[in-house]
Chains A and B, each alone.
Chain A
């Protein structure tokens, strides 16, 4: 407790510890829990400082835990931290077998997002996409707002968005931290994990469209 004493009473209470089991403190002053009365050697401070510095210097000769991170030496574990598998880093978007973005613009990720950092504009698919009706015309993630909670990945019904282990998310401008659809797709390709595992039907037929039924 720094600065515990005021101007009126500051000097009165030390030194009474042995005589009175419960020292009567002047009003406004108190002993923090765990405070101990110092003996005269400790009160000189100098031996204690030497002890503390000794502890500090002893670490110079121990093994280091930290990584000398500069983001360039990917192969050297001492220069590049490799996060564990479940680490939640930068987002990426996945693709389907036809190479289209897998997202169906259902807004579930945006609804689940506690930071409201996902902005989607949906649209009807181009005529040659047979497997679904809507896709995101615009898909943006504002990584400045994102808190990397991974709720979007959990909410996605078609396994279209996921969080990679990329933690190196620095940049020089604010604009470059708003990731558009193409950049998110490209990121997945770079990482080689861009294929969605979701299939629309349990029998695995993508793009199944019911045929026109004959009505008698």
Chain B
């Protein structure tokens, strides 16, 4: 944080015990004017304009009060561990779990306020620990204690109350390992319970309708009624399927009969559930959270480019969850993207290079393809054409472009893209219609009008003008048009690099393995021109070659110079290519970071 500066002078204010407020003896206020407020015991350093002073555990911070809705956001940003359940930065604060207690010190007397002179003082003062998720920031300055004895005590009792009806079934609960109740109980709770009575057991409920393939199951007994799910469905998805019924310790999350939770953001309520009450039916019982390898990545399913985390286990992608990026997706992702990973480890994946009429897979198929391309390009470069896709990363597009322009001397590069899907808009989330992650990137690398160019290439192929066609698809849901399939049969040499066996690979003379987003490093540019880095979550299934390596090996076979054909990592390729594209100048994967930068915005838009 920029404004997280510590001034030199101030020290933790030691409240003078029993000292009378010096203000009392300050003398009579000047006649006629408003009464002068007494001087406070704790003198906070003056903050710069627009900022406020927040003294936490004796350390002063200058923060911008307009940046945070309530105190807990500022405390979390400053790095203080304030435990919480119901508070979520993406939702309106509700203040029902009472876990985020902090002490607010009275600036006048320097003591936690006892509530006698509540209205008389200019600074707000509180008789008890207060919940920081509902506590607005006071621009005149605040003094907070997050670790005082009273606060720790209060949190301990809150934990004990929350655990009264919570079953002790962590070993069979899918949330175990990433459960906020487990973590906070370990950090702030007691080891044992004094509750001897029978626990209030409530029946589990199915939140999905009979026709729903995907759905969520609710274990009502595990629920601590934080109402995060209720508030999410009210505020973000706007569908409001869930509500709280009954009162007290019998209150439970309920659903109206015949109105199941069925919207395209429902997976998020499983993520934000602080306990294991909401579990995705798709993954239920099949995983343990601590075994997942978690890799930050970017969802490829629409041009929004939601930041996600790929959870993989033993080289299998098992789960995609959203990652916080308030500039792109907030804390959420849609269910279309969340459940669209089954093609990665599917049986139809192309794992090896094959050449037509060869009985067995060819180990050097990539180099062979390159040689054939170079031969076809001998009679004039425009006899060979490439069809890239909007699912390739910038690095792959760059290698393909360099191969065709510099080595094969061909200008014939078009871009294929998946057909749009239906856009969807929610109160606080939008699913884009563009079903491709990197259309803006294709525009950046190849220039304008590449998709029209693809149509020209297909038309030229249909007219029999092409000698070779190199299709780099790697699109999981691409449905080739009839013209493209017809054109493929009229070109003597068709090289297809794709994820799955299908219509494209059947018509190909050479088939090369492609790779999905989980198998490669690279950069996608989303619709706003924000360049975001993908990271490799599992090893590439194409015998260890991801799309970039396959392209580099093809370039090697075609006799391209080392700059293109050397097997460099995506990070290195990006570093070397960035200078050629002004919006990316000076950037590397490291400077793009986990949340991406928006260097390409102006140029692409």
- A contact set with B: CB distance below 8 Å: 104-108, 111, 121-124, 132-134, 157-158, 210-213, 215-216
- In whole Å, how far is A31's beta carbon from the nearest beta carbon of chain B? 56
Is B202 engaged at the interface, CB distance under 8 Å to the other chain? yes
**How far, in whole Å, are A121 and B316 apart by their CA atoms in the complex?**
14
**How far, in whole Å, are A111 and B202 apart by their CA atoms in the complex?**
30
Q: A106-B172, A111-B290, A215-B245 are in contact. Are A122 and B203 (CB under 8 A)?
A: no
Is B23 engaged at the interface, CB distance under 8 Å to the other chain? no
Q: Across the interface, name the chain A residue whose C-beta is closest to B286.
A: A122
**How far, in whole Å, are A126 and B13 apart by their CA atoms in the complex?**
64
Is B498 engaged at the interface, CB distance under 8 Å to the other chain? no
Pick the residue among B171, B201, B285, B286 that contacts A157 (CB under 8 A): B171
Are A213's CB and B288's CB within 8 A? no
**How far, in whole Å, are A108 and B288 apart by their CA atoms in the complex?**
10
**How far, in whole Å, are A82 and B493 apart by their CA atoms in the complex?**
74
1/0 contact string of B191-232 vs chain A (CB within 8 Å):
000000000011100000000000000000100000000000
Is B246 engaged at the interface, CB distance under 8 Å to the other chain? yes
Are A106's CB and B203's CB within 8 A? no
Residues of A within 8 A of B286 (CB): 121-123
Q: A104-B172, A108-B171, A134-B172 are in contact. Are A124 and B202 (CB under 8 A)?
A: no
Known: A108-B171, A210-B202. 15 other contacts (CB 8 A): A104-B172, A105-B172, A105-B285, A106-B171, A111-B290, A121-B286, A122-B285, A124-B285, A134-B172, A134-B285, A157-B171, A158-B171, A210-B203, A212-B203, A215-B245
**How far, in whole Å, are A215 and B202 apart by their CA atoms in the complex?**
11
Are B172's CB and A210's CB within 8 A? no
- In whole Å, how far is A114's beta carbon from the nearest beta carbon of chain B? 15
- B contact set with A: CB distance below 8 Å: 171-172, 201-203, 221, 245-246, 284-286, 288, 290-291
**How far, in whole Å, are A123 and B172 apart by their CA atoms in the complex?**
11
- In whole Å, how far is B354's beta carbon from the nearest beta carbon of chain A? 33
Residues of A within 8 A of B288 (CB): 107, 111
Are A211's CB and B203's CB within 8 A? yes
Residues of B within 8 A of A212 (CB): 203
**How far, in whole Å, are A104 and B245 apart by their CA atoms in the complex?**
32
Are B202's CB and A213's CB within 8 A? yes
The interface centre, meaning the residue of B172, B284, B290, B291 with most chain A CB atoms within 10 A of its CB, is: B172
Residues of A within 8 A of B221 (CB): 210
- In whole Å, how far is A197's beta carbon from the nearest beta carbon of chain B? 17
Residues of B within 8 A of A157 (CB): 171
Q: Across the interface, name the chain B residue whose C-beta is closest to A135.
A: B285
- In whole Å, how far is A130's beta carbon from the nearest beta carbon of chain B? 13
Residues of B within 8 A of A108 (CB): 171
Q: Is the interface of A mostly helix, strand, loop or mixed?
A: loop
Residues of A within 8 A of B284 (CB): 124
**How far, in whole Å, are A111 and B170 apart by their CA atoms in the complex?**
14
List of 9 A-B pairs having minimum Cβ-Cβ separation, nearest first: A106-B171, A210-B201, A134-B285, A107-B288, A157-B171, A122-B285, A104-B172, A212-B203, A106-B172
Residues of A within 8 A of B291 (CB): 107
- In whole Å, how far is B367's beta carbon from the nearest beta carbon of chain A? 38
**How far, in whole Å, are A170 and B377 apart by their CA atoms in the complex?**
65
- In whole Å, how far is B32's beta carbon from the nearest beta carbon of chain A? 64
Q: Across the interface, name the chain B residue whose C-beta is closest to A216.
A: B246
Residues of A within 8 A of B171 (CB): 104, 106, 108, 157-158
Residues of B within 8 A of A106 (CB): 171-172
Residues of A within 8 A of B203 (CB): 210-213
Pick the residue among B172, B201, B202, B245 that contacts A132 (CB under 8 A): B172
The interface centre, meaning the residue of A132, A134, A211 with most chain B CB atoms within 10 A of its CB, is: A134
Are A133's CB and B202's CB within 8 A? no
Are B245's CB and A133's CB within 8 A? no
Residues of B within 8 A of A107 (CB): 288, 291
**How far, in whole Å, are A215 and B171 apart by their CA atoms in the complex?**
30
**How far, in whole Å, are A124 and B203 apart by their CA atoms in the complex?**
17
**How far, in whole Å, are A207 and B87 apart by their CA atoms in the complex?**
36
Residues of B within 8 A of A104 (CB): 171-172
- In whole Å, how far is B198's beta carbon from the nearest beta carbon of chain A? 9
- In whole Å, how far is A91's beta carbon from the nearest beta carbon of chain B? 19
- In whole Å, how far is A32's beta carbon from the nearest beta carbon of chain B? 51
Are A123's CB and B285's CB within 8 A? yes
- In whole Å, how far is B186's beta carbon from the nearest beta carbon of chain A? 16
Q: Across the interface, name the chain A residue whose C-beta is closest to B254.
A: A215
- In whole Å, how far is A160's beta carbon from the nearest beta carbon of chain B? 11
What would 23 A/B residue contacts be, using CB atoms closer than 8 Å? A104-B171, A104-B172, A105-B285, A106-B171, A111-B288, A111-B290, A121-B286, A122-B285, A122-B286, A123-B285, A123-B286, A124-B284, A124-B285, A134-B172, A134-B285, A157-B171, A210-B201, A210-B202, A210-B203, A213-B202, A215-B245, A215-B246, A216-B246
The interface centre, meaning the residue of B201, B202, B221, B288 with most chain A CB atoms within 10 A of its CB, is: B288
Q: Across the interface, name the chain A residue whose C-beta is closest to B285.
A: A134
**How far, in whole Å, are A211 and B204 apart by their CA atoms in the complex?**
10
Residues of B within 8 A of A213 (CB): 202-203
Residues of B within 8 A of A121 (CB): 286
Q: Across the interface, name the chain B residue whose C-beta is closest to A134.
A: B285
**How far, in whole Å, are A212 and B205 apart by their CA atoms in the complex?**
10
- In whole Å, how far is B311's beta carbon from the nearest beta carbon of chain A? 16
**How far, in whole Å, are A105 and B291 apart by their CA atoms in the complex?**
14
- In whole Å, how far is A122's beta carbon from the nearest beta carbon of chain B? 5
The interface centre, meaning the residue of A108, A133, A157, A216 with most chain B CB atoms within 10 A of its CB, is: A133
- In whole Å, how far is A152's beta carbon from the nearest beta carbon of chain B? 13
Residues of A within 8 A of B201 (CB): 210
Residues of B within 8 A of A124 (CB): 284-285
**How far, in whole Å, are A105 and B169 apart by their CA atoms in the complex?**
12
- In whole Å, how far is B203's beta carbon from the nearest beta carbon of chain A? 5
- In whole Å, how far is A19's beta carbon from the nearest beta carbon of chain B? 71
Residues of B within 8 A of A215 (CB): 245-246
Residues of A within 8 A of B290 (CB): 111
**How far, in whole Å, are A124 and B217 apart by their CA atoms in the complex?**
13
**How far, in whole Å, are A133 and B221 apart by their CA atoms in the complex?**
14
**How far, in whole Å, are A210 and B285 apart by their CA atoms in the complex?**
20
**How far, in whole Å, are A53 and B101 apart by their CA atoms in the complex?**
81
**How far, in whole Å, are A210 and B566 apart by their CA atoms in the complex?**
65
**How far, in whole Å, are A213 and B202 apart by their CA atoms in the complex?**
7
Residues of B within 8 A of A122 (CB): 285-286
- In whole Å, how far is A149's beta carbon from the nearest beta carbon of chain B? 20
Q: Across the interface, name the chain B residue whose C-beta is closest to A210.
A: B201
- In whole Å, how far is A112's beta carbon from the nearest beta carbon of chain B? 12
- In whole Å, how far is B249's beta carbon from the nearest beta carbon of chain A? 12
- In whole Å, how far is A119's beta carbon from the nearest beta carbon of chain B? 10
Q: A123-B286, A210-B201, A210-B221 are in contact. Are A133 and B246 (CB under 8 A)?
A: no
